Amino acid sequence: MNADTRTIGFIGLGHMGGPMAANLVKAGHRVIGFDVVPDVLAAAAGAGVEAAGSAVEAATTADVVITMLPAGRHVLDLYRNEGLLTAARPGTLFLDCSTIDVADARSAHEAAVAAGMRALDAPVSGGVVGAEAATLTFMVGGAQAEFAEAEPLLAAMGRKAVHCGAGGAGQAAKICNNMILGISMIAVSEAFVLGESLGLSHQALFDVASTASGQCWALTVNCPVPGPVPASPANRDYLPGFAAPLMAKDLGLAANAARAGGVPVELGLKAAELYAAYAAGAGAEADFSGILQTLRGGTAPEHGSGPRNDAKGGTPS
Ligand code: NAD
* Listed residue (281, 136, 301, 317) closest to 234, CA to CA: 301
Distance 15 CA to ligand 1 centre (A): 7
Select from 122, 62, 61 the least CA-distant residue to 95.
122
Phi then psi dihedrals of residue 158, to 5 deg: -155, 180
Nearest atom (ligand 1) to Cα of 34: 20
- Can you list the residues of the chain whose pLDDT is less than 50? 1, 299-315
What's the gap in Å between 52 CA and the centre of ligand 1?
18
Phi, psi for residue 18 in degrees, rounded to 5? -60, -60
| 273 CA distance to ligand 1 middle (Å) | 23
What residues are paired with 275 via a beta bridge? none
Using DSSP, state whether 201 is helix, strand or coil: coil
**Atom 20 of ligand 1, residue of closest alpha carbon:** 35
Angle subtended at Cα 189 by Cα 98 and Cα 101, rounded to the nearest 5 degrees: 20
- Give me the pLDDT at residue 302, please: 41
> Residue 11: phi, psi to the nearest 5?
-115, 120
What is the residue with the minimal CA distance to atom 4 of ligand 1?
14
Atom of ligand 1 nearest to the CA of 98: 32
Query: Between the CA atoms of 235, 176, 19 and 310, what dihedral angle is there, to the nearest 10 degrees?
Result: 30
With the most atoms of ligand 1 within 8 angstroms of its CB, the residue from 56, 68, 128 to mutate is 68
- Closest residue by Cα to atom 31, ligand 1, is 70
> pLDDT tens across 218-258, in order?
999 999 999 999 999 999 999 999 999 999 999 999 999 99
**Over the Cα atoms of the chain, what is R_g?**
21
Say what the pLDDT of residue 4 is. Answer: 83
Give bridge partners of residue 11 from the DSSP assignment.
34, 67
Residue type at position 131: A
Q: How far apart are CA 224 and CA 273, in angstroms?
A: 19
| Domain extent listing, the chain | 7-166, 172-295
Superfamily of domain 172-295, CATH level 4: N-(1-d-carboxylethyl)-l-norvaline Dehydrogenase; domain 2 (1.10.1040.10)
Considering only CA atoms, which residue is closest to atom 40 of ligand 1?
Answer: 127
Pocket test for ligand 1, best of 36, 102, 129 (most atoms within 8 A of CB): 36
Q: Is there a cis peptide before residue 116, judged by omega within 30 degrees of 0?
A: no
Helix (H) or strand (E) holding 247: helix 244-261
**Digit-coded pLDDT (tens) for 95-117:** 999 999 999 999 999 999 999 99
If you measure from the C-alpha of residue 209 to the centroid of ligand 1, how many angstroms do you get, rounded to a whole number? 36
| Ligand 1 centre distance from Cα of residue 60 (Å) | 21
Determine if the peptide bond prior to 241 is cis (ω within 30°).
yes
Taking CA atoms only, the protein residue closest to ligand 1 atom 9 is 14
**Gap between the terminal Cα atoms of the chain:** 33
Ligand 1 surroundings by CB, under 6 angstroms: 11-17, 34-37, 40, 55, 68-70, 74, 78, 98-99, 124, 127-128, 246, 249, 317
Which CATH architecture fits 7-166? 3-Layer(aba) Sandwich (3.40)
Q: Give the per-residue pLDDT at 307.
A: 30
- Kindly list the distances between the CA atom of residue 75 and the CA atoms of 65, 156, 189, 205, in Å, as whole numbers in the listed order: 12, 23, 35, 44
Q: In terms of DSSP bridges, do strands 64-67 and 118-121 run parallel, antiparallel, or are they unpaired? A: unpaired
Catalytic center residues? 174
Torsion on CA atoms 81, 83, 84, 85, rounded to nearest 10: 100
67 Cα: distance to centroid of ligand 1 (angstroms): 9
47: exposed, middle or buried (Cβ count in 10 Å: 0-12, 13-18, 19+)? middle
From atom 30 of ligand 1, which residue's Cα is the shortest distance away?
98
Sign of the Cα pseudo-torsion (57, 59, 63, 69, in order): positive
- What pLDDT sits at residue 39? 98
Choose which residue among 35, 56, 171 to substitute to test ligand 1 binding: the one with the highest number of ligand atoms within 8 A of its C-beta: 35
Atom of ligand 1 nearest to the CA of 82: 18
User: What's residue 2's pLDDT?
Assistant: 52
